[in-house]
Structure 1
């Protein structure tokens, strides 16, 4: 179960690194605009906001990686904390912006958190 939990935490970290890249570096490029369904003008007007969001996603990924490499009890606590942050961010995003975020962000975080807690 410990290996499964670590793999799931790693996948959630990778997801948030992907979001970082999309929001910080590809937002105004075709891949970023199609990812969010924005036209060039909207992408231009929201680029600084997206970069800020991307940075926060990078912090979530960094915290999850820290949780994977740190020894316990720090690693366990970091994983629980940052996965909880992922879930809260996903629920908030689903309520305020787009319901798809619940499945794309909160659900993977919740599954990983459950695995971490069960592996403990």
Structure 2
């Protein structure tokens, strides 16, 4: 995998680590749960178990992307690109589920899509 694609894999991984922190660690802060279109603490309390679980999905995707780069070689790069494909797919699902999440979906899916394209063409 070329260096430019690897940079986008790292960006995708770091973004998903940040989302893990928001969903699994910081979720009950009003400034955090409001990012996810949750209006009040009572609703955030109901959503907390799902957010916690979803945060770990993001952590595992980040570890796949970054760990694949660290492992290196064709197999490691394949793991990184598979994680990026999953991230891209999740971003598409997010915007399909709620158009108000377009910005978040673009942030989630943009870097991994660029990593996939750049890995394929360069």
Please list every run of 5 or more consecutive structure 1 residues that lacks an aligned counterpart in the other structure: none
Q: 1:35: Cα distance to partner?
A: 2.3
Given the two structures, how large is their TM-score scaled by the length of structure 2? 0.87
Q: 1:80: Cα distance to partner?
A: 1.7
Please list every run of 5 or more consecutive structure 2 residues that lacks an aligned counterpart in the other structure: none
Given the two structures, how large is their TM-score scaled by the length of structure 1? 0.88
Over the aligned positions, Cα root-mean-square deviation in angstroms equals 1.7
Q: 1:86: Cα distance to partner?
A: 0.6
Counterparts in 2 of 1:11-22, with a 5 A limit? 11-22=11-22
User: Which ranges of 4 or more aligned residues in structure 1 deviate by more than 4 Å?
Assistant: none
Tell me what 1:113 maps to: 116
**CA shift in 2, pair 1:75/1:118, >3 Å:** farther
Tell me what 1:69 maps to: 70
CA distance, structure 2, for counterparts of residue 96 and residue 35 of structure 1: 16
Q: 1:26-72: per-residue Cα shift (whole Å, max 9, x none)?
A: 11113312322422111111000000110100010000011111121
Aligned length: 119
Counterparts in 2 of 1:76-115, with a 5 A limit? 76-97=77-98, 98-115=101-118
